[in-house]
Chains A and B, each alone.
Chain A
């Protein structure tokens, strides 16, 4: 059982659609992350939030828009995506400032048609 829950687990969308990925953590952490995992590539850090404030945007295109309303919830809003954005999107959490252990959700597998 994971303390980080992601929904939906699978998403298929067209390039003109708008959708959102949701992440919720039940671990009392105050840092949350979005990572992208494409086939045969390393996990790519997208965004970091510490205490609800975005502390890192790793040059992510504006068609990906994160939102962190509180320390337990993180969203990734998607619009006008490209087929190359198809990937597994992983949410993670940790204690802020602690680079020890990241706790990942099971991921949202996105396919852009």
Chain B
């Protein structure tokens, strides 16, 4: 099983739509969760951290479900500028790694 698994998409949605991505992780001991955004031919950038109680940043809402080992990202009122690949990122403490493990990403295309 992959450490971090995401639906690659693409998700094609019209402007103004609400879209949600899920991501599953394999290690129940993981404690840190993030969503990164990567634009085409650009470097990844942190979008938001994911907290146990769920958190919101403007149009973006992130949630964590520890029991089912998945995290989600909800984007409301999609904008053209939201078109990008969204990377689910998790720490993996069991391997002793002090770096983060990235999913393959989910591509979002917002259409006019």
Whether A99 pairs with B8 at a CB distance below 8 angstroms is no
In the assembled complex, the CB of A9 is this many whole angstroms from the nearest CB of chain B, namely 10
Of the residues A2, A31, A43, A107, contact of B102 by C-beta under 8 Å: A43
| Contact residues in B for A2 (Cβ distance below 8 Å) | 43
* Those of B22-75 within 8 Å (CB) of chain A: 32, 34, 42-46, 49
- Is the beta-carbon distance between B98 and A42 smaller than 8 angstroms? no
- Output the least CB separation between A104 and chain B (Å): 4
Q: A94 CA to B49 CA in the complex, in Å?
A: 15
Contact with B along A1-38 (1 / 0, CB 8 A): 01000000000000000000000000000010101000
Q: Which of B34, B91, B104 contacts A42 (CB 8 A)?
A: B104
The answer to whether B32 and A90 have CB atoms under 8 Å apart is: no
Check B43–A90 contact: CB distance below 8 A: yes
The distance in angstroms between the C-alpha atoms of A99 and B4, with both chains bound, is 16
Number of interface residues of A (CB under 8 A): 24
Give chain B interface residues in 97-112, CB to chain A under 8 Å: 97-105
Instruction: Report how far A45 CA is from B8 CA in the complex, Å.
Output: 20
Interface hub of B43, B44, B49 (most chain A Cβ within 10 A): B43
The minimal Cβ–Cβ distance linking B88 to chain A, given in whole angstroms, is 9
Are A97 and B43 neighbours in the complex by a CB distance under 8 Å?
no
Shortest CB distance A59–B (Å): 11
B-side contacts of A40, CB under 8 Å: 8, 104
A84: Cβ under 8 A from any B Cβ: no
In Å, the complex CA distance between A104 and B91 comes to 17
- Which of chain B's residues has its CB closest to A44's CB? B102
A-B contact pairs, 5 of them (CB 8 A): A48-B99, A55-B98, A56-B97, A99-B100, A104-B43
Which B residues lie at the A interface, using CB under 8 A? 4, 8, 32, 34, 42-46, 49, 87, 91, 97-105
Q: B-contacting residues of A (Cβ < 8 Å)?
A: 2, 31, 33, 35, 40-43, 45, 48, 50, 55-56, 58, 90, 97, 99-102, 104-107
In the A-B complex, list the 6 residue pairs whose CB atoms are closest, starting with the nearest: A104-B43, A43-B102, A42-B104, A101-B46, A42-B102, A99-B32
